Amino acid sequence: MERQAAYLRNALFDQGYLDEQFLQLEDLQDEANPHFVEEVVKLFYTDSVRLIQSIELTLKNTPWDFEKLDNIMHQFKGSSSSIGAKKVKKECSQFQEYCNVGNVEGCIREFQEVKQEHAALKRKLENYFQLAREAR
């Protein structure tokens, strides 16, 4: 179990889902806060839903408010980067670039990517945390 959890964790790093910021979170986990990483990730996913919904709402209104989209995505990116969500962060940056040039199609496409990466990481992390919990 432990080995499986460790394997899964390393895979996340190797495949570029997580970056060193995740290590920072792990360093913060201690006896006083044994589930710190999991708590923070849960917090992120709860809060990011709100941001995603906000973007979707903004995308529904035409003409597009690129500035607002950029602002929301900026928040989303900051949040993602704080937990080390590498791929999500990258897609966020890409989305912002499309926003800056007013590329509507690019934004729509990129937003799908963001959501996909966001969901994929969530699944993987949930698996990992479950394994890690069982391993303890």
Beta bridge partners of 18: 85
Please tell me whether residue 121 binds other proteins under the rule CB under 8 A.
no
Please tell me whether residue 78 binds other proteins under the rule CB under 8 A.
yes
Tokens matching residue 45: 């996913």
Phi-psi region of 64 (alpha: psi -120 to 50; beta: other; left: phi over 0): beta
Q: What single-letter DSSP state applies at residue 62?
A: S
> Given the complex with other proteins, which of 15 and 33 has the nearer CB atom?
33
Report how far residue 71's alpha carbon sits from residue 64's, in angstroms, rounded to the nearest whole number: 13
Tokens matching residue 126: 């949930």
Report how far residue 82's alpha carbon sits from residue 107's, in angstroms, rounded to the nearest whole number: 23
Binding-residue pattern over the window 34 to 73 for other proteins, x denoting contact by CB under 8 A = --x--xx--xx--x-----------------------x--
- Considering only the stretches 57-65, 78-86, 102-110, 119-127, report the one whose residues sit in contact with other proteins under the rule CB under 8 A: 78-86
Report how far residue 102's alpha carbon sits from residue 18's, in angstroms, rounded to the nearest whole number: 29
State the nearest-atom distance from the C-beta of 28 to other proteins, in Å: 5
Tokens matching residue 10: 């390393």
Binding-residue pattern over the window 3 to 32 for other proteins, x denoting contact by CB under 8 A = ------------------x--xx-xx-x-x
Q: Which residues are at the interface with other proteins (CB under 8 A)?
A: 21, 24-25, 27-28, 30, 32-33, 36, 39-40, 43-44, 47, 71, 74-75, 77-79, 81-84
